[in-house]
Amino acid sequence: MRRLRSAAVLAALLFITCAKREPPPVILISIDTLRADYVTPARTPHIAALARDGIVFRNAWSHCPLTLPSHLSVFTGQLPPEHGVRDNTGYRFDGKVHATLASLLKKRGYKTGAAVSAYVLRASTGASSGFDDYDDAIGLVEGAPLGALQRRGSRTEKIAERWIDAHRDEPFFYFLHLYEPHSPYEPAYDADVRAADAITGAFLDHLKSTGVYDRALIVLLSDHGEGLMDHGEQEHGVFLYREDLHVPLIVKVPKSGRRGLLDNNVQLADVAPTILDVAGIAKPAPMHGLSLLRDVPSSRPAYAESFYPRTHLGWSELRSIVRVNWQAIDAPRGELYELSRDPQERTNVVDRNRRAFAELRALARNTTGAFHEPERIDAEEAKKLAALGYVSGGVEASSGPLPDPKDVIGQLARLKSVEELRRRGDHRRAIETLTSLLEENPRWSNVREQLGEEYEEIGDPASAARVYEAGIAATPRLAGSFALAAGFALLESGNQDEAAPHAQIALAAREPGAHLLLGEIAFARHDLDAASREVAAAESTSAEKSHALFLAARIAAARRDHARTLELLDAVQREGKATGASLPRRFHYVAADALARLNRVEEAEREFKRAIAADPHDFHAYADLSLLQLIRGKRDDANATLTKLASMNPKPAICLDIAKELETFGDRAAASAWRQRARVAH
């Protein structure tokens, strides 16, 4: 092993000298959420082929089991306490304060480009610092909530190919990010790993066909692993065990026929110094990492942290130190594992090694530095991260001891189970599960938000409002967000007077959506001028623009300007496509109504059917569609629509309304049958 390591270092140093004369292309490939033990010749043959051409670091460690902080450690060569981003949300990286790999290479004449596959690494986080081109235009994903969440790696890979082809004759740095192994899986984690490998293979084949591969420095890694229930966590973000932190790391130096394996512990913070070393650029002083192509001390500790359980779940944060063959996890009940004998970390030996644990724990705590709570999380941002599997709400800070995550991890699994219940439409059991979880942890805002949404889903906005109102007291830091949700629920239940003060609380907290709620309240009170003023205020906020345009369309409809209504609805669709936002509720009904009033009856009928598909319980959509069909003489179609209406809303009052409509069109026999049906239903 020592011989292989020395050969790799010698070869690398030779090519560092060459790099000073001819800067090599630099390509960084990140496969999100890829566990090191899932990289095998059978499962990942293309990655294995790259490994045969390069240096494989068999004990590489991540600093955080979350995408954004981990990638910023790769880019900066710094630990999360140093670059300041401790979570996927609530923090923004400052590229003016911290030099990045892209910015340093750019100063030396490199063109810098990137394409990412997930919302988590969007440019607005600061991750794009130093890049000339940073493609984060994530397209719509069919069936994904709110749309703009992730894109298929095959699409991102093609973007990378085109950019590299355009810059291959000049020094360049390119970052390609694939997201396939990350949840939601399609259909399973193992299948996603194989898919990511195939995409990587296509990319490497393209580099070979264009002559870039041989002369390029290529680094392949993952940002963190995946729990897969090894210690009770299905995904990642909470625990710091080997399955969460041990990642693949391969470095192929330019034109090198040398290959090697290295077993020393290395870290993702070492990637930036290594790339700079090959490019002939001295690393700046703040970089924590070391060049992997020089002597790396075998006893150097690898630090990792997760504050995600503290800020999102109300549990204790965790810290980890890996040194030589030991891993210590700083938790309320400390853990120590001897990795050489217990690689699966099944036996906690802390009781037999108190002194060693205390030393490593002190090192972890000293490395952590000062922790700053995340800033307020934007509601739309939180929903998009939740759609990617992250619990994205917040909890109120506690002065008392927090639960040890390993004691309460089952709560997270129960919360995840709600997703399946919701997909199956089992809202009753979803409400029961969420209610139980909230009783166990009243400050768990994400559970409260989901419980309120479930009540709204079953048509009980009054109960939803009560859930949200309790959140104002339970989590004062999120009072504006809960007040906003309560206001909309109260408005939905017809209680405009109670909704208004909640809107003012949200407005005082500068909560995005407050002006929109005030506009909806004014619209419900038929004060169209006041509603229009609130629309103008709401349109200035990107998160509100789509829904503000929709309210403007409804105001135009109330003023009988139906052509303007359709123009504004077109604007809503354009905004949705640009941002990935879903269409507002009742969008298709408003469109159908405007089309019908403009006598564009065939288009109106199509939109009414879309409105019914979007909300099978929308009485007005069925009623207006059947009316349109009766006017057009399509009695059979109208009867089918009315029958479906009654089946979705099996109430005597509905049957009587249907009877009245049929009587208006002279169909007394059918009207009589529906009256009889009402008596039977009663």
DSSP 8-state symbol, 478 = G
Vertex 43, ends 239 and 162: CA angle to 5°? 90
Overall number of domains in the chain: 4
Q: How confident is the model at residue 16 (pLDDT cuts 50, 70, 90)?
A: very low
> What's the pLDDT tens digit per position in 469-510?
998 888 777 888 899 999 999 999 999 999 999 999 888 888
208 with 238, same domain: the answer is yes
Contact by Cβ (8 Å): 467, 485: no
605 with 545, same domain: the answer is no
Q: CB-hemisphere CA count at 13 Å for 384?
A: 25
Q: Which residue has the higher pLDDT, 80 or 288?
A: 80
Q: How confident is the model at residue 383 (pLDDT cuts 50, 70, 90)?
A: low
Q: How far from the centroid of its chain's Cα atoms is residue 592's Cα?
A: 33
Q: Show the domain range for 173.
A: 2-297
Q: Last residue of a domain, which of 279, 297, 315? A: 297
Asked which of 102-106, 196-200, 390-394 is least confident by mean pLDDT, the reply is 390-394
Residue 296 confidence (pLDDT) above 90? no
Residue 69 lies in a domain: yes
Residue 10 confidence (pLDDT) above 60? no
Residue 33 lies in a domain: yes
- Greatest mean pLDDT among 19-23, 384-388, 577-581 lies in 577-581
Closest CA to 280 of 349, 346, 217, 187: 217
Element (H, E) at 329: strand 326-330
93 with 229, same domain: the answer is yes
Residue 472 lies in a domain: yes
482 with 519, same domain: the answer is no
Residue 233 lies in a domain: yes
Residue 371 lies in a domain: no
Query: Rounded to an integer, what distance in angstroms lies between the CA atom of residue 151 and that of residue 157?
Result: 10
Q: Which residue has the higher pLDDT, 600 or 679?
A: 600
> What's the pLDDT tens digit per position in 622-647?
888 888 888 888 888 878 887 887 77
Residue with tokens 């740095």: 173
Residue 170 confidence (pLDDT) above 50? yes
68 with 153, same domain: the answer is yes
559 with 591, same domain: the answer is no
Query: Rounded to an integer, what distance in angstroms lies between the CA atom of residue 167 and that of residue 25?
Result: 10
pLDDT value at residue 21: 56
Q: Last residue of a domain, which of 266, 297, 328? A: 297
pLDDT value at residue 377: 59
Across the chain, what does the average pLDDT equal?
Answer: 88
659 with 566, same domain: the answer is no
The helix/strand/coil state of 417 is: helix
Q: For strands 55-57 and 260-262, give the pairing.
A: parallel
554 with 428, same domain: the answer is no
Residue 580 confidence (pLDDT) above 70? no
Contact by Cβ (8 Å): 596, 609: no
288 with 433, same domain: the answer is no
Q: Which residue has the higher pLDDT, 328 or 585?
A: 328
527 with 567, same domain: the answer is yes
**Residue 382 maps to which CATH number?**
1.25.40.10
Residue 346 lies in a domain: no
Query: Rounded to an integer, what distance in angstroms lies between the CA atom of residue 338 and that of residue 359?
Result: 15
Residue 343 lies in a domain: no
> What's the pLDDT tens digit per position in 389-446?
555 556 656 667 889 999 999 998 898 899 889 888 899 999 999 999 999 888 788 8
537 with 615, same domain: the answer is no
Query: Rounded to an integer, what distance in angstroms lies between the CA atom of residue 668 and that of residue 674?
Result: 10
pLDDT value at residue 566: 96
pLDDT value at residue 201: 98
123 with 226, same domain: the answer is yes
Backbone angles phi, psi at 644, to 5 degrees: -65, -40
pLDDT value at residue 630: 82
Average pLDDT of span 577-605: 88
Single-letter amino acid code for the residue at 467: V
Residue 145 confidence (pLDDT) above 50? no
Query: Rounded to an integer, what distance in angstroms lies between the CA atom of residue 131 and that of residue 110?
Result: 10
E strands along 199-306, which residues? 217-221, 246-247, 249-252, 260-262, 266-267, 302-306
Q: Last residue of a domain, which of 245, 267, 297? A: 297
Average pLDDT of span 593-604: 94
Strand partners, 176: 29, 115
Residue with tokens 């008596």: 679
**Residue 41 maps to which CATH number?**
3.40.720.10
Closest CA to 273 of 288, 256, 255: 288
pLDDT value at residue 518: 96
Predicted structure pTM score: 0.79
Residue 367 lies in a domain: no
Residue 573 confidence (pLDDT) above 50? yes
